[in-house]
Amino acid sequence: MTDVARHPAGALARNAALNLVGQGAPLVIAVVAMPFVVGGLGMDRFGLLTLAWVVLGHLNLFDLGLGKAATKFVAEALAARDDAAVARVAWTALLIQAIVGIVGTAALLALTPFLVGRMLNVPPELAQEATATFRILALSAPVTLLFNASRGLLEAAERFDLVNAVRAPLNSTTYLVPLAGAFGGWRLPAIVGLLVAARAAGFAVQLWLAMRVLPPLRTRPRIDRAEAPRLLGFGGWVTVAGVLGPLLLYLDRFLIGALLTMAAVGYYAAPFEAMTRLWIVPGAIAAALFPAFSAAAWTRGSSPSTTRRCASSSSGSAPHSSPRRCSPARSSSSGSARRSPTRPLRCSGFC
């Protein structure tokens, strides 16, 4: 395996460029397709579609930060060459995501009558269509969470070529499917249903790719009780930012839909989406750096106390004895080793 802690700048730049292309190419399609989508669906129906995009894009609010946690700890396990840890972390994250997704489905199904009937100012002729749309979105929760988690595994392995080979066509369907619906006279449930089906296909492809890139995943899936608290502990901090950011960014759409009309949401969302897509530039860079930094933190032995112990052990040796080197400890089966965010070091040469 490659020591990702010693990446040349060119490799990181290449990964960032791949992310930028994977996220930027669909925007070209969006610029061409959006006028036809708005004209074909009408402003009220387009307003509902933009809310569906928000829900589909931010169902990861339910993921408890496990997507990023899986990326971090799988990257560390790869740096440690600990195949058993790769499997434990990956399957624990995926299975917890599936459970959380089912809970999210139940919550969204329960909220649908309130959203359509009381919160949003949905035109009466679209009420039944809106209810069916939000129910389909609710059923997509497990698929969306598993899709994000499986992408995190490929990012941990720094296979951004594969990540974006899936991401670019999948993100393009976000605009191509409504475009086809606008010309074909489809209703919103059909459009959103196809978007969810595309997300499910994307998850299946990503999981297959992850199992090819990471052979340790070819084991029996199970939740590891030692890994789960570690993943949830790190993910909790990620969740705080993950919840507050989208709430502050997209709550206004729901407020406009509640206080004004769905048509007003459509008029508001189109230019807003165009401007916020510029954030893909820092996002592409951050996504490339995160797994590399995670692996580097492990490789350098980020435990200061361990470094001090190695230094004191070396300084206590005879003047002409060979110096000792701090190297990562091999895979450990002890519970304490699993629970530690970074694995312990052992002294075996130059420090």
Phi-psi region of 44 (alpha: psi -120 to 50; beta: other; left: phi over 0): alpha
- Judgement on whether residues 137 and 238 belong to the same structural domain of the protein: yes
Render pLDDT for 108-167 as a digit per residue (tens, 0 to 9): 899 888 888 777 777 888 888 889 999 999 988 899 899 988 998 998 888 888 998 998
Query: What is the DSSP code (8-state) at residue 349?
Result: S
Asked if residue 231 lies in contact with residue 73, where contact means CB atoms within 8 angstroms, the answer is: yes
- Judgement on whether residues 325 and 295 belong to the same structural domain of the protein: no
- Judgement on whether residues 16 and 146 belong to the same structural domain of the protein: yes
Asked if residue 73 lies in contact with residue 82, where contact means CB atoms within 8 angstroms, the answer is: no
Q: Which domain holds residue 257?
A: 4-299
- Judgement on whether residues 254 and 191 belong to the same structural domain of the protein: yes
pTM for the full predicted model = 0.69
Residue 152 one-letter amino acid: G
- Judgement on whether residues 312 and 167 belong to the same structural domain of the protein: no
Render pLDDT for 304-334 as a digit per residue (tens, 0 to 9): 333 333 333 333 333 333 333 333 433 333 3
CB atoms within 10 A of CB 320: 5
- Judgement on whether residues 102 and 200 belong to the same structural domain of the protein: yes
- Judgement on whether residues 79 and 213 belong to the same structural domain of the protein: yes
pLDDT band per the 50, 70, 90 thresholds, residue 249: low
Query: Does residue 213 surpass a pLDDT of 90?
Result: yes
- Judgement on whether residues 340 and 280 belong to the same structural domain of the protein: no
Last residue of a domain, one of 264, 281, 299: 299
- Judgement on whether residues 88 and 42 belong to the same structural domain of the protein: yes
Query: What is the DSSP code (8-state) at residue 220?
Result: -
CB atoms within 10 A of CB 305: 8
Which of 80-84, 121-125, 246-250, 327-331 shows the lowest mean pLDDT across its residues?
Answer: 327-331
C-alpha 247/C-alpha 237 separation (Å) is 16
CB atoms within 10 A of CB 259: 10
pLDDT at 274: 64
Mean pLDDT of 266-274: 71
- Judgement on whether residues 124 and 225 belong to the same structural domain of the protein: yes
- Judgement on whether residues 246 and 100 belong to the same structural domain of the protein: yes
- Judgement on whether residues 72 and 118 belong to the same structural domain of the protein: yes
Residues 6+ away with beta carbon under 8 Å from 170: 198, 199, 202
Number of structural domains found in the chain:
2
